[in-house]
Amino acid sequence: MGKVVEGHSMNLMSKWGITTPRYVVSNSLEEFDTMSEKHPWLEDSRLVVKAHETIGGRGLLGLVKMCTDLNSTRDAIEDILSYDRDSITINQVIVEENVPHSRKREFYASVISRREGVELLLSPKGGVNVEKNWNSVRSLKISTGAAIDTRALEEFVGQAGFDYRFRSLLGEFLQRLLTMFDGEDATYLEINPFTILRGCKKVVALDAVLDLDESARFRHPDWKFGFSSGFGRSMSHAERSIQEIDEQVKGSVKFIELDGDTALLPAGGGASVFLADAVVRAGGTLANYAEYSGDPPDWAVAALTERVCAIKGIKRIIIGGAIANFTDVKKTFAGIIQGLRKVRSCGQLNESVSIWVRRGGPNEVEALREMGKIKDEGFRIQVFDRKTALTDIVDMAFAEEVV
């Protein structure tokens, strides 16, 4: 799954025949001023300014602002771009045409990927308070492979509580949503709110959240955008550099910066979460999330190691992993050792940082021996083989602190 920012979501909706407001995307006030000269409708229309990030509940966070003229629009842009709270930073805004509509005509629809097919949700009470009115949301389950029946959709619209005169219009709208969902390999599509224009008999999607399946990129050459980090902030330089390596190599390397005293360098997606759980249970705080798996090349593991071990203020590093199926432990450990040495040569990883290692798998005996040898180079390192339980090194790392 990958979150798509609003501008790209609106482009895709237009592609599938769903009407959206006109919009521009800007990274700064100066850029917006330049665009407003090119797009006269920006001066002639009432506008709404939103943070252009995949953050849930932007309205409640004050990241959606209604504007009456160009000056208040410029003020709103400045306010949103300077937002800095709850570890949320905004680097981009989207300025949309504020389609006139009544609050009573803010409706909710979403499509969710499920094991047996997709679930369609619909409610006449949408907008910022949709969750307060969740009991008004109706659900329609559509099985995998089932043909989408317009009449069934129209009945569903009626069951959801919409007026009879909107059934055909909304039936068609939902049909387009479902077709888009399937055609674009979406995993989540939420239109909140959408409205029906007075007299024009047209449905307009005013705001949307769209998650696409990154795994399906191979059949979507028109997906020329990247996916958002998905948790409320842009990627840091370090995170992006590891992601670039991840895209190049066989296997996988992952890195996300957090703020804590314990660094994690785990092998495998499953073990990484158990080790993170163990750190939290022991009372530590996570300095990062990381993972390597699928037998990546040693230079990629070395690069990941450098990022993890260079984090400022860490007290301990957990280098753990389960018994590997086919990842060559000796090779990946060679990458880790290389990364450790490089970080140390830059003046970090002194005696105040302890390192805890546990692993098994192909070539484990030589790998663990080589890892243990670097103690002689001044690393404060403890190395354990498969006979030590997976998360014991975390318990030991924290037990040592008490002494």
List residues binding another protein (CB under 8 A).
1, 56, 87, 113, 115-117, 143-145, 182, 185, 187, 213-216, 218-219, 230-233, 254, 256, 258, 267-274, 276-281, 285-286, 289, 291, 293-294, 321-326, 360-362, 386-387, 389-392, 395
Contacts of 251 (CB under 8 A, 6+ apart): 292, 293, 294, 295, 296, 297, 300, 327
- Nearest distance, CB of residue 30 and another protein, angstroms: 31
Minimum distance between the CB of residue 32 and another protein, rounded to whole angstroms?
28
Give the N- to C-terminal CA distance of the chain in Å, as an integer.
Answer: 45
- C-beta of 286: minimal distance to another protein in Å? 7
In the bound state with another protein, the residue whose beta carbon lies nearer, of 24 and 304, is 304
Which one, 26 or 391, has the nearer CB to another protein? 391
Nearer Cβ to another protein (87/159):
87
When the beta carbons of 172 and 214 are compared against another protein, the nearer one is: 214
Cis before 193? omega within 30:
yes
Sign of CA dihedral 309, 314, 315, 317: negative
**Shortest reach from residue 116's CB to another protein, in Å:** 8
Backbone angles phi, psi at 141, to 5 degrees: -95, 130
Chain CA centroid to CA 311, Å? 22
What is the rounded CA–CA span in Å between residue 371 and residue 356?
Answer: 10
Nearest distance in Å: CB 266, another protein:
9
Nearer to another protein, 195 or 229 (CB): 229
**CB closer to another protein out of 268 and 296:** 268
Q: How far is the CB of 387 from another protein (least distance, A)?
A: 8
Question: What's the closest the beta carbon of residue 268 comes to another protein, in angstroms?
Answer: 3
Task: Return the number of the residue (161 or 269) whose C-beta is nearest another protein.
Answer: 269
**Chain-centroid distance, C-alpha 117:** 23
**Minimum gap (Å) between residue 200 Cβ and another protein:** 33
Residue that the structure tokens 């800095």 belong to = 84
Place of tokens 């993170």: 276
Nearest to 287 by CA among 259, 319, 255: 259
Nearer to another protein, 47 or 253 (CB): 253
As a whole number of angstroms, the distance between CA 49 and CA 67 comes to 7
Specify the residue, 66 or 365, whose C-beta has the smaller distance to another protein. 365
Residue placing its CB nearer to another protein in the complex, 244 or 259? 259
Asked if 370 and 332 count as a contact pair (C-beta separation under 8 A), the reply is no
Q: Report, in Å, the least distance between residue 402 CB and another protein.
A: 18
Minimum CB distance to another protein, residue 281 (Å)? 7
